[in-house]
Chains A and B, each alone.
Chain A
Amino acid sequence: MRIFRAVATAGLVVLTLMPASVQAQNRSIFVVGGYGTTTFEANASNVYRNDFGASVSPVILYTMGRDVVFETELEFGMNGANTTTTLEYAQIDYLGFERVQLIAGKFLVPFGVFGERIHPSWINKLPTGPVVYGHAHGGVAETGLLPVLSDAGVMMRWAQPFSGKLRLDFSAYVTQGPQLGGEDDHDEEEGAGLEDPMPFSALEDGPAPAVAFGTGFGDNNNTKMVGARLGLLSGGSAGIYVSGFTGKYDEEDDLSFTAGGLSVEWRVAGLELRGEGVLTRQKFMDEVEATTETLNRSGFYLQGSKRLDRFEPVVRWGMLADGTVDGTTTIEGYNEVALGLNFWMRPTIPLKIAYEFHEGLDDRMYVQWAYGF
């Protein structure tokens, strides 16, 4: 009994004297963050045709030691009388290596830069996304070429710094991949009287069927999507990325969807310039001719902003080129220009106003208040 008491006492003393950092090494940490958004959108020709919208995206982090973290983001938004719920990502990251990361789960696919890093409302400098990336709802790009991509699979990341400020930023992934998109049941989101601002809807006007990403856990075919992104960065002032992925979206493994992208960014003295170009090639079955055709689409956006103390003017030009099948235009191209002015109440709380010119359609006005927490 004496020996037991002596050992117990010695153990407690050792525990007390153990450096706090060693104790903290093994402590799991739970953190809640995220962002919220409220947006007012109006038809510039008739401001009485307008909508209020709101959403909140909580981010939950849970660490297991210092090399493993579980992270997830949900998005709750408005949809008529209902509330939409989207799992943006739910992933486990192994960060035990110096330059390599291993990630599994549902994650934001590293295609381009906007989807993975810039789309949160408290980071995006305009109330809307660029024309090439439609808002992700059910994983179908109701507008644009691609949604903000989120899919389930595994990913490996590698960072290689060089002398000076040069570094390579590489990511490669295998995910479920694209599937045939479902019917559009989200018309209510547009609200009273506001039509879709874009002339093209993958579900209505295109010759090829809609393709969805990250819509469910089951893969509908034997082919996974594979992709990668390679970036060359110079510190935080400049970067260029090349991205690409390919996968099959039909159950018979016959029809492929392939995308490629180029992203550039440059920052100096409060001025930021960024741009992305995207190409997509989608094979589809022409039911009339009973042949396999390819829909080719492309688009880009360029954005510039300048920080002036708490104010920040922003301008963005986006264009979708004509969609073609065998050189024949099947989808008309489209241009839009957005002018915005942000007031940063805090580093993570922007108040944004913007005016968007939409080619061939009514212009739009936006007021958005975003809160990163």
Chain B
Amino acid sequence: MRQAIPLMLAATLVAVAPDSLFAQAPDPVLLGEGATVYADFCASCHNARASSERTDLEWVAIVLHMRARANLTKREAAAVLTFLQATNLPEGSASAAGRLDRDEVDPTRTVIPAELRSILSENAINGAAGSPSPAPTKLGDGR
């Protein structure tokens, strides 16, 4: 029994360790680029979809599919994925401000946390192709 304790402890740690425990903060430069790519290339064909429609893992597959369809570079795809995952809601989020059921999402707007709105173009926020697009600022610009 004493000899099995280390194994049992390690197995327990594996079972309970959440993915978010070691999640890294999104690269701010990539995040800003992703917002631009999202507004320019995604919105050139279809309306912007709310990032909360899918889980972070599903967006990985969907962005690969869209990269092939839109002929994006690897970095552009990584940037869009960063943006979608950064603006996605954490699963199981129960806060009144953070929890939005899919049916409650404003259909004309991408779900974007308030602190990110200042860096995003109007296209990304309005979810409409061709909406007025002031040049997005990037995190770290000091604005």
Residues of A within 8 A of B (CB): 5, 8-9, 12-13, 15-21, 23-24, 27, 29-31, 33, 59, 61-63, 66, 69, 71, 91, 93, 95, 97-99, 101, 103, 116-118, 122-123, 157-159, 161, 165, 169-171, 235-237, 239, 265, 267-272, 307, 309-310, 344-349, 372
Contacts and interface: CB of A to CB of B under 8 A. Distances in A.
Given A24-B57, A159-B71, A19 B107 contact: no
7 contacts: A8-B7, A12-B13, A21-B22, A29-B61, A69-B68, A157-B71, A267-B44
B14 interface: yes
B14 A165 contact: no
B22 A20 contact: yes
B67 A95 contact: yes
A71 to B, nearest CB: 5
Contact of B128 (A23, A69, A99, A270): A270
A125 B111 CA distance: 24
A68 to B, nearest CB: 9
B57 A269 contact: no
Interface string B69-90: 1111111110000000000000
A123 to B, nearest CB: 5
Contacts of A21: 22-24
Contacts of B132: 269
A347 B108 contact: yes
Contact of B107 (A71, A91, A97, A347): A347
Contacts, number: 157
Contacts of B21: 20
A347 B10 contact: no
Given A19-B24, A235-B40, A310 B108 contact: yes
A19 B76 CA distance: 23
Interface in B36-61: 39-41, 43-50, 54, 57-58, 60-61
Nearest to B132: A269
B47 A66 contact: no
Contact of B130 (A8, A16, A158, A267): A267
B69 A347 contact: no
A19 B66 CA distance: 27
Given A9-B7, A98-B75, A159-B73, A347 B68 contact: no
Contacts of A62: 61
Contacts of A31: 54, 58, 61-62
A159 B67 CA distance: 10
Given A69-B61, A309-B108, A348-B49, A12 B7 contact: yes
A347 B49 contact: yes
Q: Which 5 A-B pairs have the closest CB atoms?
A: A236-B40, A12-B10, A267-B130, A347-B47, A346-B107
Given A63-B60, A237-B130, A24 B19 contact: yes
Contacts of B48: 347
B91 to A, nearest CB: 14
B60 A236 contact: no
B32 interface: no
A212 B8 CA distance: 63
Contacts of B6: 5, 9
A165 B128 CA distance: 19
Contacts of A97: 74
Contacts of B46: 122-123, 347-348, 372
A303 to B, nearest CB: 13
